[in-house]
């Protein structure tokens, strides 16, 4: 098993993620590209002391950006949609 402290990079706090948190109890995180669903589940359960019901992942492609006459590509990201069991909340992200 890889290092669990490198699994979760950051929580995504947008309008869509806040709405999914309120309605479906789903938290969205940017995670390391080399981590699988089981490792994401154990990392969230260990760090935030909650019970995870399911984990869904997807890889978003990096966008192309122009700066002057040069073009570049942002890196790809992996997102994890973590659904917690009923009655569970991550207190650190509730602000």
Cα dist from 49 to 20, 65, 68, 85, whole Å: 20, 39, 47, 12
pLDDT reading at 84 higher than 80:
yes
Q: Quick check: is 76 in a domain? A: yes
Does 47 fall in a domain? yes
CA diameter of the chain: 52
Is the model's pLDDT at 10 over the cut of 70?
yes
On whether residue 94 sits in a domain, the answer given is no
For residue 58, being part of any structural domain is answered with yes
Domain extent, residue 32, equals: 4-84
- CA 29/CA 82 separation, integer angstroms: 8
Confidence of residue 1 (pLDDT cuts 50, 70, 90): low
pLDDT score recorded for residue 93:
86
Q: How many structural domains compose the chain?
A: 1
């Amino acid at each position: 098993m890889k290092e669990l402290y490198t699994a979760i990079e950051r929580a995504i706090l947008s309008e869509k993620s806040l709405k999914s948190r309120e309605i479906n109890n789903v938290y969205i995180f940017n995670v390391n590209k080399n981590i699988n669903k089981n490792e994401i589940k154990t990392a969230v359960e260990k760090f935030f002391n909650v019970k995870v019901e399911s984990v869904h992942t997807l890889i978003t492609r990096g966008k192309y950006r122009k700066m002057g006459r040069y073009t570049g590509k942002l890196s790809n990201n992996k997102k994890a949609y973590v659904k917690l069991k009923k009655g569970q909340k991550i207190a650190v992200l509730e602000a």
